[in-house]
Amino acid sequence: MDNKLVSIIFLVSLFCTFNCSHGSSDLHSQEAVCKNPDLLGYVFARHWDCDSFLIRYSPYKNLVGVLMIDKHNNGYILEIFNIFNKQKVFDFQPVTVPISDFRLNENNVIVSFSDAYGMQIAYDVYTGEILWQTQ
Amino acid sequence: MKGKFCTFFISVFLVIAAYGNGKATKATDVDVDEVVTAGAQIMEHLFCDYGDDTFLIKYRNDKKFIGVLLLDDKNVGHTLQVFDMVTSEKIFEYSKADKQIVNFQFKRNAVIIYYKSSLWEEKIAYDLYTGRVVRRYSSWFGYNK
């Protein structure tokens, strides 16, 4: 009987510990996301001539990507920042084919281009290395 | 006499030109720091409320208004909010579950919203201050992005 009680208490405390730590981590990420107006202000100021931006976060909220879009709806600069240290980790300016969209993962970005084939290239945001690309 | 007429017309022309030029508001007339700070603060609030969304941001040409389209994880626009850059107040909001917004643009004191449609291009202009429909545009060849 005592053993059962101890087991139940142990399981309940284990569950609570996991839940609390998981929750606080989420809160920490959310707080970091909310508290970066200076980062966006920096982007807006540096690209003052740009009137249109697409902003996406990575699922873990560790990265934020900003795509600068021109009057013809073409993305011409993609910048990715680490939310926690506010450092720019990736910068990409296409030469010929404009960017139509991008998606962020934990350490990489999938860039979609506005060509006839809907070409996509995945880059490692920290090294700039091409991970894969569609033909 | 002829010279006086010419001088008169030229001066009238110059006065009109100067007046017209002075009335136009350009992005260069606004305070960069003010606009940048206001834009970043508006976005800060939106990040807190819609942390999982993607944001398509557009300024009006003179940077007096900023429009933010909220897109879900499937890239579907569900809410458009427009803010005054001077007061940072929300002046316009559009959100309807049955319509998917794909794009928007400012035109004078109106915002034109582009909806997803397979058969024809569907876009509606709304007055920013009253929220009323100003104009409906429709033409074949759908706006699909």
For A36-133, CATH number?
Answer: 2.40.10.480
- Partner residue opposite B39 with nearest CB, options A36, A44, A54: A44
* Best A38, A43, A50, A51 residue to mutate vs chain B (most B CBs within 10 Å): A51
Confidence of residue A40 (pLDDT cuts 50, 70, 90): confident
Confidence of residue A135 (pLDDT cuts 50, 70, 90): confident
The answer to whether B43 contacts chain A (CB < 8 Å) is yes
Considering only CB atoms, which chain A residues are within 8 Å of B59?
Answer: 51-52
A91 DSSP β-pair partners: A79
Q: How far apart are CA B141 and CA A57, in angstroms?
A: 33
Class of B28-140 in CATH: mainly beta
Considering only CB atoms, which chain A residues are within 8 Å of B112?
Answer: none
Domain ranges of chain B: 28-140
Report the length, in residues, of chain B. Answer: 145
* Whether the complex's predicted ipTM surpasses the cut of 0.85: no
DSSP state of A103: E
- Partner residue opposite A38 with nearest CB, options B40, B60, B61: B40
Query: Are the C-beta atoms of residues B80 and B105 closer than 8 Å to each other?
Result: no
The pLDDT score that the predictor gives to residue B5 is 59
Q: How far apart are CA A55 and CA A63, in angstroms?
A: 11
The answer to whether B37 contacts chain A (CB < 8 Å) is yes
Residue B142's Cβ-count burial label (10 Å; 0-12, 13-18, 19+) is middle
B6, two tokens = 């010419």
Q: Is the pLDDT of residue A110 over 60?
A: yes
List of long-range contacts for A75-79, beta carbons under 8 Å, 24+ apart? A75/A99, A75/A100, A75/A101, A75/A102, A75/A114, A77/A47, A78/A102, A78/A109, A78/A111, A79/A43
List of long-range contacts for B117-122, beta carbons under 8 Å, 24+ apart? B117/B142, B117/B143, B117/B144, B118/B142, B118/B144
Confidence of residue B116 (pLDDT cuts 50, 70, 90): confident
The pLDDT score that the predictor gives to residue B26 is 54
Q: How many CA atoms lie within 13 A of A122 on its CB side?
A: 10
Q: How far apart are CA B93 and CA B91, in angstroms?
A: 7
The answer to whether B3 contacts chain A (CB < 8 Å) is no
Considering only CB atoms, which chain B residues are within 8 Å of A101?
Answer: 75
CB within 8 Å: A40 and B43? yes
Query: Are the C-beta atoms of residues B83 and B66 closer than 8 Å to each other?
Result: yes
pLDDT tens track for B101-110: 999 999 989 9
* Portion of chain B with pLDDT greater than 70, in percent: 74
Q: Is the pLDDT of residue A22 over 50?
A: no
Q: How far apart are CA B122 and CA B3, in angstroms?
A: 57
Q: Specify the range with the lowest mean pLDDT, choosing from A35-39, A58-62, B22-26.
A: B22-26
pLDDT tens track for B50-79: 877 899 999 998 889 999 999 988 888 999
Nearest residue on chain A to B56, judged by CA atoms?
A54
The answer to whether B32 contacts chain A (CB < 8 Å) is yes
